[in-house]
Every structure is written in C-alpha cells, then in structure tokens.
Structure 1
Amino acid sequence: MFFFNNLGFSQSKFVIQNKKETVKIPFKLINNIIIIPVEINGIELSFLVDTGVNKSIIFNFLNISDSLQIKNTETFFLRGLGEGEAIKALKSKGNILKIGDAINVDQELFAVYNPNLNFAPRLGIPLNGIIGYDLFKDFVVEINYTSKYIRLTNPSSYTYKNCNSCETLEMEFYKNKPYIYSNIVIKEKQIPVKLLIDSGGSDSLWLFEEDSLGIHPGNLYFEDFLGHGLTGSVYGKRSKIKGFSINHFNFNMVNVSFPHPESLIYVRQHKERNGSIAGNILKRFNLIINYPDGTITFKKNRHFYDPFSYNKSGIELEQDGLRLVKQKDYDYKNTDDFLGEYHQGSKTTVVLGTKYKMELKPVYSIVELRKDSPADNVGLMVGDVILTINGKSTDKYDLQEISHMFYEKQGERIKLEVERNGVELTFVFYLEDVFEQ
C-alpha cells in the first residue's frame, strides 16, 4: 500500500553468509500480508515485505537515533497512497541490516517519526518497518504461502525445478517496482491490464477506473474504507468482477476495489498502470520472484480455491491499548477449599481452590464504520470498545480471529457487547452480502 517516488538508489548489496548461498526465513501471514523478523544495527524488529515499495523505511520509534544508532541523516519528504500531505523522513546511510544469514552492511533507510503512521493497531502485532526492492534486487526469492516461509538464494546458485503446472511471466519495472500483464473480465468484456505486484496490500485486486477501457464497478458496489497508505487513509468502491486470469490460471467473481482518484495522485504517475494484484490473490500461489532475470513464477497452492469474501459487518477494528481483566487462577491451591477435579486425556487435575488474578488483555475498538452497513444500522459507533462477541469475551481472541468472524456467510448472527463512555450496551445484527441481495 506504499509508494515512493523520485528517490535515489544506493549500490549497497545483501550477501548470504553461509556456504549454501541460500537462507530460509519463516514469516507471519496477517491479513494476507507477510511479516518477517529483521535486525537493524543489532536491534530485532518486524518488517512488512512489500514488492510495491522501492525503499526501506522504519517508523514510530522514540529516541530512534540512539536506540538504532541511525546517523548520517538528511531530511526527505515522502509521498504515497492516501489523501494526506507528504510526510517528513530522515534518510540514513551505512546501516547494518540482517535477515537470517543475509546481511547488508551499507543499507539506506528512511526513518519516519510521524506518530500517526502506526500500522500495528490494525494488525494486532508490532510492525516497525517495510522492505521491498532492497531485499528482492539481490536474490531469487521464493515465497511459500502454504508453509509460511521466504527463501533467499543467490541467483548464480539457483536451479529451477521442472514444473508443468507453473506459469512464468516476464516482469516490467517502473521505478524498481514489478508489473505484469494479465486480463480481467467486466460485463463479458475481456480487458488486458498492467498491474503492480503488491505483496504489501491485503485486498485481491485494485483497479483504477477508466471508462474508455471499460474498467469501472458498474452499478453494484458499496463505498468503503480500503486501508492505510503512507500519507493517509484510502477510501473507494468495493465490487466484484466476473473474471481475472494470469495466463492459464483463472478466477471467477473476484473481489475488486476501485480507490478514489484523490488517493492516487502520486501512484498514477505511471500512466500505463491499471491497478494492483495484492495479497488475497498472491497467497493462492507459491511464488518464485527473480528480479535479476525479470521473471515471476506462479504455482497454485491449497489456497487457490478459497472463496473470495468481504467484511459483511461494516466494522473495522484496531487494537487500542490494554485493559485489566479479572480471571480465575487455577494454579492457586488451597487445601481448605476443595472444588473438584477435571480430566484431560490420561491426566487428572485436582482443583483445590481458586483465586482471581488480574491480567492485561488487548482492547479492540471500532475505528471505521461503513455507512448503512449492518453494524451502522443497529447503532454501533466509531470508538465503541468491544467487550464480548457472541457471548465470549474478546480477550479470548486475537484481532484477526475477531475480524474473520465478520467475513462469515450471509445471514450469520453477530451479538456484540460494547462499552461506550463507561456504559455497557448490547447490539445484535446479521451479516449482509451486498452481492447476494
């Protein structure tokens, strides 16, 4: 979801420090995007892997120059997706960046201090930065969405395996970002499109409206929050298109978003671009991305036939701090207060007594609410803190588990207990699929 432009490139390079000239890095897949561990100047952080960016950035650190020893800086202003203004960043050279056994001892970074640029609450896990071109330019990169790992290999040591079911496409590059040609079908019309490969986006497809080409959402769509860009929130239309294909790989009734033009001012500098292929399509394949040769190989995996679903509630959540939750402590034993026993497999645990303990648990708040959505229509509001969902306390779930409940089938009943200005309220609504009405 990020876009940098008109920034210079250093000649720094990653080197793999082992004899096999390859390294395997596990990742977390959150909302269809890839999060990997990255070490910068000896400090371990979490980075988003985003083929849609051409520079590495870190953000939201207090005393960042001291903790990461970031020096040799100069001021830059970065622009990207979103409706806001350019943000201030410090460009720093000579940083040591390590990913597994791959190391770059002269990494250029852009450090952003803007406190509003914080993606961790929307993901539910810490996120300290983004890396794209700087990682991909030196390696053949395998992304295995099934087993959740990335493998980096020196191009001179990489051997392709025979794969009759794979599709290999040539990539074109614009400002060091990869593009491929594919086809969409809108109202029975097949349209060739040039799309950015965007592993940092969680949607399926983004398309830029162009009436002369027949690229538009038609009459069946709804306005929605699409995500966060570098310079602000992105809003647009959510719809479906009849078909999408990457060579011989075909999808039917695919989710598509049409971002509003005001969010795309800097993105549309590449006039030939028609949109993006994002994580909800990419995760259906295991990929081999070879920047040095300019190719990408697709091999479908077990996610290929996963249904395309939308958030049918209208609610967008974020993790909004922590709260103290009172819970029973079954580790506490009091021989004077026998309560009983419970069985687990071949083991029997005798509970002699209980005592309550207080634990810090995440708070989940509504931060976006789609107008005329099921949640909006029953009176839920931005700022409401969700206490329980379908009768179960939200401290039993992580953010992704709660959000996925809003993607269930048409007609699913959702009961929420929320706190609003110190008052507890209960709301019941049913999920609605706009495209099945």
Structure 2
Amino acid sequence: MNYTYSKYYFWFFLLLLTLKTNAQFQILNQKRSVKLKFEVFNNLIIINGEINNQPKSFLLDTGVNKTVIFNSLSPQIDTTNIKEIRVMSLGNEKSVKAYLINATVNFKSFVNPKANLYYITDKDWQLSNKLGIDIDGIIGYDFFKNHMVKIDYTRKIIKLYNPKKFRRQLRRYHKTSFQINAGKPYLKAQLTTDQNTNKNLDLLIDLGASGSFWLIETDSIQKPIINYFDILGYGLNQPIFGYRSKANSAKIFGTKFKKPYYAFVPKSQINPASFKDGLVGAEILRRFKLFINYPENKLYTKPNKFIKDNFNYDKSGLILNYAGKTYTTVYRQKPYRNTQNLNKTPYDDLSSEKDTSSSFISVDNIIIIANIRPNSPASNTDLKIGDRILSINNKAISKYNSQEINQLFSQDGNPEIKLKIQRKNKRLKVKFRLKSIFE
C-alpha cells in the first residue's frame, strides 16, 4: 500500500488526566439497538457523527483508548480556559500540546452528553492529509466499552446493542476471548514466519491499522530472512522504519491463512510501552463478520465473502501524501453564430471569449511523493520526493481516489505505470513497471 494513510498507524499515549465526568455513551429512548452506516476506506472504517451538533467524521479504531479530535473544531472551541496536556505518539519523540475538553458526541441515538475529548491543534497530527479524505477525529474505547458492537463489512453496517437486551445466540460464530489493557483489546494468535513458529502471540485487535499483522522485535520474534526495508508509519514527524515480509501461515479466529504479509518492527523504532507482541489489523478483520463484546471480553467471528481475497502489497515503492486541493474557476466559452460565412466549419460556432456569467469550479487533489522506498521500481526512475503527481496512466489524478491508487499500485503481474508529474515549473513524464518482491 502506497498512501501514507493506508499504511501508517497512529497511537496516542496520553497522560493519565481526565475531566471529572461519569458520562458515557448510551442508547436513547430505551432502544434495544442502534444501526449506523459506515464507509470503508483502505480497510479503515469511517463513521459520521456530531460534536456539539456539528457534523464530523471519525475513524473507528480499537487501537486508541481516548477520543481524539483535530484542528477542524478550532473555530468552535475556546481553548483559553481549558486544561492543557501533552500527547506522545508511536515513536520515541517529543510530546505535543493538546487540550482536554468536554463535548456532546452522538451517532444518531447513540449519545455521550459529556464526552472527554483530546483536542490536538498541531498540524502534523491532522489525518486528512494522510488519508486523502476529511477526518475530524478518532474514536475507540469509549465507543465500544459498554456495548455489544456488530460490524458487518459486506453491508457496511455497525449495530450497537444494549448488552442487557441482547438475546441472540451466536452458535455459528467462533468465540475468542481477549484481555483489555489500558483500554485496548489483546488476543492470542499464531504466526509462522521463515524464522520460526510464534505461538500464543499477544496481538492488539486494531481496526485502525489497515494491514494484516505487525510483529515487534523480541528475543523470540526476529527479523525475517526474506524481507524488504520500508517506512511502516509515522509518529509526529519521524518515520517508523521496519521490514515487510510474507509469513508462511497465520492462525486466528479458528481460521488458517496462507502466506499473509506482515511488518516486522525493530524495537528501536517504537515506544516499548506501546505494544506487546504486535497487532492484527483490518486486512484480516475485514474478512469476518464481527460481534465485539467489551463488557464480557469476547469476540465472535464468522467468515464473510472477503475471506479468500488475495493478500496484496504495494509494488511501486511510492509513498504518497495528500496535500489538499486546488480550486480553479473555469469559464465557458461564449457561443456565437457565423452568419457571414456560408462555408463555415464546426469550429465557427465556438468563441475564444470568456463567458463570465457561465463558469464552474474545477477541483484537483494535490498528491505529493512523500518518500520512495529503496530498491523499488520507483527508485530506479527520476522521481524525487516533493514531486506532484498530475496523472497516472493518462488519467488525471482528480479522477482517482486514494483507494483506487493503492489498488493500481498493488495489482498482480508487472504492468507499466505512466506518471505525469510537476516539479517546480516543469512537467515531466516518468514510467516504470511494477515488480513483485516475493514471487
């Protein structure tokens, strides 16, 4: 996966400071359940809700134990009389300033009237430029902790149940126990690599990680023999370096997967307190219908139609960043009739004069090369960090969403990729062929 957001994971380690409130999410009107629709973006779940009656979009992430919001709320919140805290990220970096506030958060009739929110104004923590779509916040533990939550990836529906009113028998589902540590759920799994078989791994259940597995370096978890070096993610400003490889097999939820891809993270690259043995991400979780029961520490899974999907990975070596949009006013041409020339051509009905009364706004995404993986197809071209991509395979970049770009750069075989880029005032054409590392 080549977009920074699709392969980069964010964890938040917040100081143990909370506002005094007993408020929590509740299903209003004594309903048995609440149904929500969601979108899937590079395996990540995006849900729409409200903060203080303002529409907002959230990334649903079991890998965070606090609800985090970003700079999109700045016109609505006065931070002068709010408690200031410090926030740290995945890497070993300096903390940044954040504010601890209370606000009403609701997803239809699933409401928390006084939710604790960690409001981060630092621009490096804005997810929108990593995801390529508007994201106002991340929600995890507070969403799950008191309810049974059903996630159906095929229908793109979440259903939240009052656990006291949940009567459904899940006999056809595989039941897995998990433990909650610091608001994050961990389960046991097995992964067989080219080094050894790692049994009873403690893996974080992470809906906010789009890949399959991460393994963290320990005495028993060693760097894979067959691998390629890559940027696995970002902390605040610094990249998290590691290696990608293919496991021989993985066994989880009573299901055995053959040759899934995984990331190996050297312990020098992360805060040691952030993990146990690693994580299982959404590339695995999306292949199941899920019932997640935090009150009883149980996860129920049943394979869905995605269970046999291939495991794909980026074969280009490009790491892209969404840097915003450009807005251009385009004026239509004034039509006119050539009544003087009887031998007129079809072009005579067109005028080069702008019609200022008839125009439209052209919106283009700004997609920048953030990094280039060493020894990759892209590294053997003239592409440079900072180049802006204008088109891929003769199709304007505005015609793609980030998920389509990921799929294009992860496709099977070794098709040719043609890019048109802008570097300062120059426009250049570059082409290369995708190349598989493991086959």
- Is TM (by shorter chain) over 0.5? yes
1:218 to 224, 229, 233: 224
Amino acid at match of 1:203: G
Residue 88 of structure 1 aligns to a residue whose secondary structure is strand
Q: Distance in 2 between matches of 1:300 and 1:262?
A: 36
Q: TM-score, normalised by structure 1?
A: 0.88
Q: Distance in 2 between matches of 1:281 and 1:122?
A: 22
Where does residue 316 of structure 1 map in the other structure? 319
Conserved in 1, the CA contact under 8 Å of 2:206 and 2:279? yes
Amino acid at match of 1:133: Y
Query: Displacement, 1:359?
Result: 1.0
Where does residue 347 of structure 1 map in the other structure? none
Compared CA separation, residues 72 and 290, structure 1 to 2 (3 A): farther
1:390 to 385, 393, 406: 393
Q: Distance in 1 between matches of 2:153 and 2:251?
A: 19
Task: Output aligned runs, 1:293-332, within 5 Å.
Answer: 293-323=296-326
Conserved in 2, the CA contact under 8 Å of 1:204 and 1:254? yes
Query: Displacement, 1:203?
Result: 1.2
Query: Displacement, 1:4?
Result: 2.2
Q: Distance in 2 between matches of 1:181 and 1:71?
A: 45
Conserved in 1, the CA contact under 8 Å of 2:224 and 2:264? no
Q: Does 1:180 align with 2:187?
A: yes
Q: Distance in 2 between matches of 1:170 and 1:218?
A: 29
Amino acid at match of 1:80: S
Where does residue 341 of structure 2 map in the other structure? none
Where does residue 403 of structure 1 map in the other structure? 406
Greater shift, 384-393 or 8-17, is seen at 8-17
Q: Does 1:53 align with 2:90?
A: no
Compared CA separation, residues 132 and 383, structure 1 to 2 (3 A): same
Residue 398 of structure 2 aligns to a residue whose secondary structure is helix
Conserved in 2, the CA contact under 8 Å of 1:364 and 1:399? no
Where does residue 426 of structure 2 map in the other structure? 423
Query: Displacement, 1:72?
Result: 6.0
Q: Distance in 2 between matches of 1:414 and 1:405?
A: 9
Where does residue 76 of structure 1 map in the other structure? 85
Where does residue 345 of structure 1 map in the other structure? none
RMSD in angstroms over aligned alpha carbons? Answer: 2.6
Q: Does 1:114 align with 2:128?
A: no
Q: Distance in 2 between matches of 1:249 and 1:431?
A: 31
Q: Distance in 2 between matches of 1:199 and 1:84?
A: 24
Q: Does 1:40 align with 2:51?
A: yes
Compared CA separation, residues 42 and 263, structure 1 to 2 (3 A): farther
Q: Does 1:11 align with 2:14?
A: no
Task: Output aligned runs, 1:143-292, within 5 Å.
Answer: 143-164=151-172, 166-187=173-194, 189-210=197-218, 212-213=219-220, 215-229=221-235, 232-268=238-274, 273-292=276-295
Conserved in 2, the CA contact under 8 Å of 1:5 and 1:175? no
Where does residue 362 of structure 2 map in the other structure? 359
Query: Displacement, 1:335?
Result: 7.6
How many percent of aligned residue pairs carry the same amino acid? 32
Compared CA separation, residues 260 and 217, structure 1 to 2 (3 A): closer
Conserved in 1, the CA contact under 8 Å of 2:330 and 2:362? yes
Amino acid at match of 2:53: G
Q: Distance in 2 between matches of 1:7 and 1:231?
A: 23
Compared CA separation, residues 162 and 295, structure 1 to 2 (3 A): closer
Amino acid at match of 2:54: I
Q: Distance in 2 between matches of 1:207 and 1:227?
A: 14
Q: Distance in 1 between matches of 2:269 and 2:56?
A: 29
Conserved in 2, the CA contact under 8 Å of 1:40 and 1:68? no
Greater shift, 39-48 or 186-195, is seen at 186-195
Conserved in 1, the CA contact under 8 Å of 2:14 and 2:86? no
Q: Distance in 2 between matches of 1:326 and 1:43?
A: 29
Q: Distance in 1 between matches of 2:373 and 2:318?
A: 7
1:24 to 25, 28, 35: 35
Query: Displacement, 1:232?
Result: 4.6
Where does residue 97 of structure 1 map in the other structure? 105
Conserved in 2, the CA contact under 8 Å of 1:79 and 1:266? no
Query: Displacement, 1:12?
Result: 2.0
Greater shift, 395-404 or 367-376, is seen at 395-404
1:413 to 409, 412, 416: 416
Q: 1:168-190 CA deviation, whole Å, 9 max, x = no partner?
A: 11111111211101111123635
Amino acid at match of 1:420: R
Q: Distance in 1 between matches of 2:98 and 2:176?
A: 35
Is there any run of 5+ residues in structure 2 with no aligned partner, and where?
Answer: 1-9, 339-343
Q: Distance in 2 between matches of 1:391 and 1:328?
A: 24
Query: Displacement, 1:259?
Result: 2.2
Q: TM-score, normalised by structure 2?
A: 0.87
Conserved in 1, the CA contact under 8 Å of 2:247 and 2:259? yes
Compared CA separation, residues 231 and 376, structure 1 to 2 (3 A): closer
Conserved in 2, the CA contact under 8 Å of 1:223 and 1:236? yes
Residue 400 of structure 1 aligns to a residue whose secondary structure is helix
Conserved in 2, the CA contact under 8 Å of 1:82 and 1:229? yes
Q: Distance in 1 between matches of 2:367 and 2:326?
A: 10
Residue 116 of structure 1 aligns to a residue whose secondary structure is helix
Question: Number of matched residues?
Answer: 415
Where does residue 146 of structure 2 map in the other structure? 138
Residue 106 of structure 1 aligns to a residue whose secondary structure is strand
Q: 1:189-223 CA deviation, whole Å, 9 max, x = no partner?
A: 3522010101111111000122x32x223221111
Q: Distance in 2 between matches of 1:25 and 1:137?
A: 17
Q: 1:68-108 CA deviation, whole Å, 9 max, x = no partner?
A: 46786211112221343112111113x21111211111111
Conserved in 2, the CA contact under 8 Å of 1:79 and 1:231? no
